[in-house]
Amino acid sequence: MEMNWSRWFRCESSFGLLLVPNQPGIYALAEEIVQPAGPYSHRMLAVFEVEEADDLARSLSRLFAAGSPWRQKLTEERCYLRYAVAPSVEGRRGAATALKNWLNSQRDTAAEIFEPTSKPAAGTEAATEAERAVDRVSRAREYEKVFPAGF
């Protein structure tokens, strides 16, 4: 089943959700982990939540409610949101489950890219800022290859 996803948009307050439809669907929340640094760099997002909803507008507005486990993160961090309308319960549940399974399967890959296990040998000079930037971009490009098509 092909999903027609919205663009990623900044999730700063419930006011930013005014154009979200009152329809069933699924949504993904992500945190910005690499900000664009130049004309050819790309923003990198780490998805931390995928959920299905009977009413996207209502469910997303609840993210900012006092009892929401995501309220503090959404207000303090640079978080983004995207959604897809999915009227069928089976389609919505299947897509959300598939995305959650895929995200769980990619955790090891992401950990290898963003948390390198090798440490520099004793006595070697620390990498320059430029070398670290090149390394981050290389790891980011590797990470882009693991997203499913259309997400």
Judge whether 96 lies within some domain.
yes
pLDDT reported for residue 124: 44
Residue 151 lies in a domain: no
Structural domain that includes position 109: 9-144
pLDDT of res. 123 = 45
Evaluate whether 96 touches 104 at the Cβ level (below 8 Å): no
* pLDDT at site 46: 86
Residue 2 lies in a domain: no
**What is the structure's pLDDT at 111?**
65
The residues near 22 (Cβ < 8 Å, ≥ 6 apart) are 55, 56, 57, 58
Residue at 72 is within a domain: yes
Q: Structure pTM? A: 0.68
Residue 77 inside a domain? The answer is yes
Q: What confidence score (pLDDT) does residue 114 get?
A: 59
Identify the H or E element spanning 130.
helix 129-144
User: How many residues can be counted in the chain?
Assistant: 151
Per-10-residue mean pLDDT for the chain, 151 residues long? 87 83 94 78 84 94 89 89 94 92 78 57 50 56 52 59
The CATH number assigned to the domain holding 139 equals: 3.40.1440.10
Within-domain flag for 150: no
Provide the domain count of the chain: 1
Within-domain flag for 97: yes
Contact predicate 24/54, CB 8 Å: yes
- Distance, in Å, from the CA atom of 70 to the CA atom of 147, rounded to the nearest integer, reads 23
Does 4 fall in a domain? no
